Copies of this chain bind each other. A is one copy, B any other.
Amino acid sequence: MLTLSSDFGSPYPAAMRGVLLSDDPGAKLVDVAHDLPRQDVRAAAFWTRFVLPEFPPAVHLLVVDPGVGTDRAALVVRAGDHALVAPDNGVAIPAARVLAAADDAAVEVFAYEYDTPASNTFHGRDVFAPAAAAVHRVGVSAAETLDRVVPTDDYVDLRLPTATVEDGSARGEALVVDDFGNVITNVPGSFLAGVDDGTRVRVNGESAPVGTSFASVESGERLVTVGSHGNVECDVNRGRGDEAFGLSVGDEVRIEQIR
């Protein structure tokens, strides 16, 4: 199984599908998303860390690559029974940590050495899809038997920023905004553990109710809730939380419980 994630929009991902299927017409391809926020390595790391652990063992092709055409390396990152194939910009590392931990394994990073690609602008087709096809062909556990695959310690690490939580107060940031306009912060859901539905907190100084689900508040009303990734979200029931809370990706988010 091969999954595909990118910020390529359409129809570029189809070229990657073609490359993978030319290598193995029987390969099972599963799209994760191709509308990841453009050239936003951190958002791609967040979403793939969220989604990929739902999958059975697979090779995950993940191309969000602001450095395309430079000499940045291509990586094969093994995480237990999974492998990620991605540019060396940190994008694959947060998901790899979670996948490896689930398999009680360590993250193993390999450089994938590639020849001068056919283009300087579409390494998804010319570098990463062929690399993913090669790993898929030999199998994740035998990835290092490929000639082009060399173990390395020299790679770009990425850790999503963590929030500071102390005694009823959390200081974090808006990590991503989803399609619904929900603002996903890095404040852990545990911050709201035991807080009753309807209890009010302050978000950057403004009062808003905690809701255990969207239906806790009326349509059009704001709520602070714990999302399906376990993070605190600032949302609006049937509306856009980013607009109602005035929050954009990267903004500081302070949440205070009111005594």
Contact = CB atoms under 8 A, between A and B. Distances in A.
Contacts of A12: 178-179, 228
Nearest to A233: B121
A15 B50 contact: yes
Contact of A18 (B35, B38, B54): B54
B18 A122 contact: no
A132 to B, nearest CB: 14
Given A25-B1, A125-B228, A9 B215 contact: no
A83 B47 CA distance: 31
Interface stretch (A26-34, A135-143, A145-153): A26-34
A66 interface: yes
A19 B50 CA distance: 13
B213 A51 contact: no
A81 to B, nearest CB: 11
Interface in A19-74: 19, 21-22, 25, 28-33, 35-36, 38-39, 47, 50-56, 66-70
A66 B120 CA distance: 35
Interface residues of A, number: 60
B55 A32 contact: no
A214 interface: yes
Contact of A25 (B15, B56, B118): B56
A227 interface: yes
A126 B179 contact: no
Contact of A32 (B11, B19, B69): B11
A50 B10 CA distance: 12
A202 B66 CA distance: 26
5 contacts: A11-B36, A22-B54, A66-B214, A69-B213, A126-B228
Sorted nearest first, the 5 A-B pairs with minimum C-beta distance are A69-B213, A18-B54, A9-B179, A122-B228, A11-B33
